[in-house]
Amino acid sequence: MKTAKRLSDLGTETAFRVAQAAADWRAQGNRVYPFHLGDLDFPMAPHIVEAMNRAIADGKTGYCPGPGIPELRAALAEDIGSRRGIDIDPAEVVVTTGGKPVITKFLQAVMDPGQSVLYPNPGFPIYESQIEYLGGRGLPYGYVPTEDGFAIDLDRLRDSIDETTVAIIYNDLQNPISAESTAEEREAIAQIAQEHNLWVLSDEAYFEMRYGGESTSIATLPGMRERTVILYTFSKKFAMTGSRLGCAVAPKEIAEAISTMNTNDESCTTHYVQWAGISALQGPQGGVAEMLDVLRARRDAACTLINAIPGMEVAVPESTFYIFPDATEAMAAKGIATLSDFSTEALHATGVSFCTREHFGRPLPGEDRKYIRLAYSGIGEDDIVEGLTKLREWVEAG
């Protein structure tokens, strides 16, 4: 029996492959320091759990509207709009089973087979996977290192656009590199989108996962509201990764299309989880601030220790829970040529498990630096110190 040819174009979230390698190493009795997966080791806040349990007890366990229950759509419109300084009609909000489905459904709504979409690389690997799986052509745009981290290579982005390009995926506060656009860069992306009449998917999963300053949505810029779809998720801010709850905020024609896809794909997002989402948005927010305080301390410890490793350096990011160190000289000192070998040897020698640049899109022509990605969302500060100290000692040993 043959399977569909398109399956060969379907990628995966490659961090899970690293997780499996780490699990196998742990199963052999070895210590593992898990920097590989961007999951959170914080529990859901008690009031959110209580709201979910109450909804189950109240019988909210059956079907509900495909675009989401009205109460949650209204709460999302108020919360997302007020935090971004824009007015959102609840009819523009479509509830989804996490943020990830918004990527697929956005592409299905705006891209026909053979058309092309710009996407960040390195970036969340599902962008590339879904563009190609749906018959599109991915146009990767890269980043250049700066003193503060990374900036979008705007020249490469502009040069990639052709007559088939219909959309750009834009991930400010970016996974995996934690890059945040300056106002000028954000305005440049908006100008490009308008000049070429492109739809924009603004992936704002980490919009409120920041340690200083304020986030700005590209949807607030002149001329952008009518062409931008915002991806929102409860996974990060509320530590609800396994609950699978998110939404798209979209112009009504796209919102209606995504709602129809919901009905075709899942029927609806889990009813009682949506009531938990309302409680998350409208209930006490102290737990969010406490989580960010813990993550800030972990970030500071990780960055200090990484920058103490000979041949590694990283800028201190103001957002997300990832760091993306340059490990080029450290690899050379160890005599290791490939990132795959570096990650495997580091795991076996130190127990430190991490992803590499190659887990976040195919490397672009001309790349000559070697980067790794460490997530500090699921590992405590003491283990960060212990694990990265072992990594430093291993690198120093040459």
Tens digits of residue pLDDT in 302-316 = 999 999 999 999 999
Q: 233, 101, 114, 218: which is closest to 170 by C-alpha?
A: 218
pLDDT bracket for residue 16 (50, 70, 90) = confident
Residue count of the chain? 398
- Residue that the structure tokens 């299309």 belong to: 257
Q: 87, 125, 178: which is closest to 11 by C-alpha?
A: 125
User: Alpha-carbon distance 60 to 64, whole Å?
Assistant: 9
User: What single-letter amino acid sits at 149?
Assistant: G
Average pLDDT of span 28-40: 95
Average pLDDT of span 317-340: 97
What's the distance, Cα to Cα, between the start and end of the chain in Å? Answer: 52
Residue 101 near residue 246, CB atoms below 8 Å: yes
Average pLDDT of span 210-217: 95
Q: Which residues contact 159 (CB under 8 A, 6 or more apart)?
A: none
Average pLDDT of span 118-125: 97
User: Alpha-carbon distance 262 to 251, whole Å?
Assistant: 16
pLDDT bracket for residue 349 (50, 70, 90) = very high
Structure tokens at 263: 């009905």
Does the pLDDT of residue 257 top 90, yes or no?
yes
Residue 15 near residue 352, CB atoms below 8 Å: no
Q: Which residues contact 102 (CB under 8 A, 6 or more apart)?
A: 96, 201, 229, 231, 232, 246, 247, 248, 258
Strands 165-170 and 116-120: parallel
For the chain, list the domains and their CATH numbers: 5-43+287-397 (3.90.1150.10), 62-282 (3.40.640.10)
User: What single-letter amino acid sits at 19?
Assistant: A
pTM attached to this predicted model: 0.96
User: Alpha-carbon distance 74 to 93, whole Å?
Assistant: 8
Residues 232-263 as b/e (b if ≥16 CB within 10 A, e otherwise) read bbbbbbbbbbebbbbbbbbeeebbbbbbebbe
